[in-house]
Amino acid sequence: MPTFPYTSGQGALTQTFAQLRKGAPSKIDASYLQRFNIAPANESYILSILRFLGIIDEDGTRPDGSSDYLFGNDDAFKTGLESAIRSSYSQLFEEMNDALQSDRDTLIHWFRGADKTSALVGQRQATTFLTLAALSGHGELPPARTNGQKPSSSAATAAKKPKASAAKPTAKAGAASSESVTPENMSESASSFGRDVGLSVRVEVNLPANGDAATYDAIFASIKKHLMS
């Protein structure tokens, strides 16, 4: 097991100290971190760092006077944390007096050599040290966590929604109008009209009172020829 602690998410480490500065309880354990959603499923890594710095003991109790700097102003906090770092990482400072100003690659090689760790663990040990150094006023803190927040659904919809085009519906309407006046359509419409609508014609014939059979035959023959053919 490595001598020097580490964590993969440096944002969780800065979040831990921000919460402790608001009010550090007498006991700090996994349930305390879970209450503030700090390092979910990785609480043990954060607790090992706090334990390494002397902020808590093996059972999570905060020893009296060991971390009073958590309750001070910014200057008192940075001074107290730097003192805890120098004490806990004494081997590093003995071999590298300017460790607080060292670059990441130099620290990775040192931690790997001191703990005989893998490249990944050495990187995390170095990054953890640099985060602690930044909290004590030496260097830049890692970017704050966003908690995976996604854009609101309305914003996402607005971003993806294409602009409406007024030209396309107009063009379609024009096309429909041009089709409606073609001869073919007119023929089809007329044919359809003929099928759907019937026509009744009423014819009145006034027969002469003194007409004979030949006269009547001539009249009806004329009607048949001109109206019923």
Tokens 């966003």 label which residue?
A: 146
220 confidence band (pLDDT: 50, 70, 90): confident
Q: pLDDT, tens digit, for every residue of 31-59?
A: 999 999 999 999 999 999 999 999 999 99
CA–CA distance, 189 with 183 (Å, rounded to integer): 10
Q: What is the pTM of this model?
A: 0.63
How far apart, in Å, are the Cα atoms of 77 and each of 32, 71, 128, 164, 176? 21, 7, 18, 57, 78
What is residue 195's predicted lDDT score, i.e. its pLDDT?
A: 52
Contact 75/42 with Cβ under 8 angstroms?
Answer: no
Domain boundaries, given as residue ranges, for the chain:
10-135
DSSP state of 71: G
